[in-house]
């Protein structure tokens, strides 16, 4: 590097420090004086996972601001309830059943939205799942399902709606990430990894849109802290800072969209606090995380007692050729008696010992025989009804 290049670099660094100082002062100013907020009246806002929890509340908030809300959820009943609530409050909404992990379903449903409603101008990728367990307890199938929902679904909705935004040169992409993306905790390893992927996706998308000179396509990535939006999850929390109200989180998400902020955290100070901690030495960072502790672990699953089962003789005849090649002295086990093929010749078999199938502990034992009597268990409640 020659003298001119070095001087040029120093000047750029000085300019960068000056600009950074201005942005920091601007952020402090806007804590007191809110930013100017855009109107979403008449905008078509699509919210995934709108059937319950945070997505439902975000959809309701947009409906109150006179946006036309398109609700997506794989649970049609919950989704329709959200639509009805928006309409009862005087808003406009329509619902579509869609599994965002299914790329073909996303593309087909997006086409229906365009035909029935119009071009989506604000896309809120909210749908996600939040399982909690130790990292070694995860199965490959569970990890794949988590990333299908929390990560890949974002790509499918982008493929469905971003091209029209680029063509029209306006739009807004919103992704609900998590504070766990920037400050992971134990028992959330795959979840934190999936949300980190979402944050990386949105950061990269922002840079790509800038490179393509698309200033009117906005990007907002949200990092909310734990919200008490779901009470049915088998998760225990021990937090220095208590869980947030889901209504508060939803309002802050909508506020971030109205202010066209590129990255927000809920509460607002958390993002800056976590970034500050990352600049500290490892020992200091560890101490501060112990002070502001965040502990999450799976709730033990209670096993309900099994109903008592009594074995009473019941007459039954099952016709099947499934075991025509098995000697009469041998026995076979099958998982489910419903899997027995339909009869094709009169070869009777019997269930020699049927154990309670609802418990899932045993399989029936089948064998070829000539008589048609067997022991079939029946629940006592069923016997009393008979």
DSSP one-letter code for 165: H
Mean pLDDT value across residues 52-62: 96
How many whole angstroms separate alpha carbon 361 and alpha carbon 22?
67
Structure-block tokens of residue 48: 């995934």
Q: For residue 273, what pLDDT is reported?
A: 77
Name the pLDDT band for 254 (thresholds 50, 70, 90): very high
Q: For residue 91, what pLDDT is reported?
A: 97
Name the pLDDT band for 232 (thresholds 50, 70, 90): low
Contacts (Cβ under 8 Å, ≥6 apart) of 315: 372, 373
How many whole angstroms separate alpha carbon 185 and alpha carbon 274?
13
Mean pLDDT value across residues 274-285: 80
Q: For residue 299, what pLDDT is reported?
A: 65
Our answer to whether residue 191 is catalytic in this structure is: yes
pLDDT higher than 70, residue 361:
no
More confident residue, 358 or 83: 83
Q: For residue 3, what pLDDT is reported?
A: 67
Q: For residue 19, what pLDDT is reported?
A: 83
More confident residue, 282 or 373: 282
Q: For residue 165, what pLDDT is reported?
A: 97
- CATH architecture of residue range(s) 37-298: 3-Layer(aba) Sandwich (3.40)
Name the pLDDT band for 214 (thresholds 50, 70, 90): very high
Q: For residue 37, what pLDDT is reported?
A: 87
Q: For residue 367, what pLDDT is reported?
A: 40
Q: For residue 205, what pLDDT is reported?
A: 97
Contact call for residues 325 and 317 (beta carbons, < 8 A): no
Q: For residue 68, what pLDDT is reported?
A: 98
List 191, 225, 226, 271, catalytic entry: 191
The CATH 3.40.50.720 portion of the chain extends over 37-298
Name the pLDDT band for 148 (thresholds 50, 70, 90): very high
Residues of the chain above pLDDT 90, percent:
48
pLDDT tens digit string along 255-269? 999 999 999 888 887
Q: For residue 162, what pLDDT is reported?
A: 98
**pTM for the model:** 0.71
pLDDT tens digit string along 4-41? 777 877 788 888 888 888 877 776 666 677 778 899 99
Q: For residue 352, what pLDDT is reported?
A: 40
């Amino acid at each position: 590097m020659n003298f001119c290049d070095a001087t040029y670099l120093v000047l750029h660094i000085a300019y960068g420090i000056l600009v950074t100082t201005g942005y920091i002062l601007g952020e402090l100013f806007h804590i007191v004086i809110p930013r100017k907020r855009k109107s979403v009246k008449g905008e078509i806002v699509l919210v995934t996972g709108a059937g319950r929890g945070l997505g439902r509340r975000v959809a309701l908030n947009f409906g109150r601001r006179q946006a036309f809300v398109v609700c997506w959820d794989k649970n049609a009943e919950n989704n329709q309830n959200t639509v009805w609530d928006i309409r009862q409050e005087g808003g406009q909404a329509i619902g579509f059943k869609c599994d965002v992990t299914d790329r073909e379903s996303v593309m087909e449903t997006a086409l229906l939205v365009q035909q029935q409603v119009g071009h989506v101008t604000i896309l809120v990728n909210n749908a996600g799942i939040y399982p909690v367990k130790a990292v070694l307890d995860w199965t490959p199938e569970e990890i794949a399902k988590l990333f299908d929902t929390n990560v890949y679904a974002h790509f499918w909705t982008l493929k469905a709606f971003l091209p029209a935004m680029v063509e029209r040169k306006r739009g807004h992409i919103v992704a609900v990430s998590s504070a766990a993306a920037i400050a992971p905790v134990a028992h959330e390893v795959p979840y934190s990894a999936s949300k980190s992927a979402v944050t990386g996706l949105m950061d990269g998308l922002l840079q790509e849109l800038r490179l393509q000179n698309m200033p009117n396509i906005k990007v907002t990535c949200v990092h909310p802290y734990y919200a008490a939006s779901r009470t049915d999850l088998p998760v225990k929390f021990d937090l220095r800072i208590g869980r947030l109200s889901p209504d508060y989180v939803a309002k802050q998400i909508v506020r971030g969209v109205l202010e066209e902020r590129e990255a927000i955290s809920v509460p607002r100070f958390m993002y800056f606090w976590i970034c500050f901690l990352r600049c500290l030495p490892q020992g200091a960072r560890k101490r501060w995380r112990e002070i502001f502790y965040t502990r999450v672990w799976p709730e033990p699953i209670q096993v309900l007692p099994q109903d008592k089962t009594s074995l009473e003789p019941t007459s039954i005849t099952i016709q099947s050729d499934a075991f025509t090649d098995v000697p009469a002295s041998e026995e076979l086990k099958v998982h489910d008696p419903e899997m027995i093929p339909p009869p094709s010749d009169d070869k009777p078999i019997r269930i020699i010992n049927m154990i309670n199938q609802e418990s899932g502990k045993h399989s029936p034992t089948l064998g070829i025989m000539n008589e048609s009597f067997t022991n079939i268990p029946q629940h006592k409640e069923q016997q009393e009804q008979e």
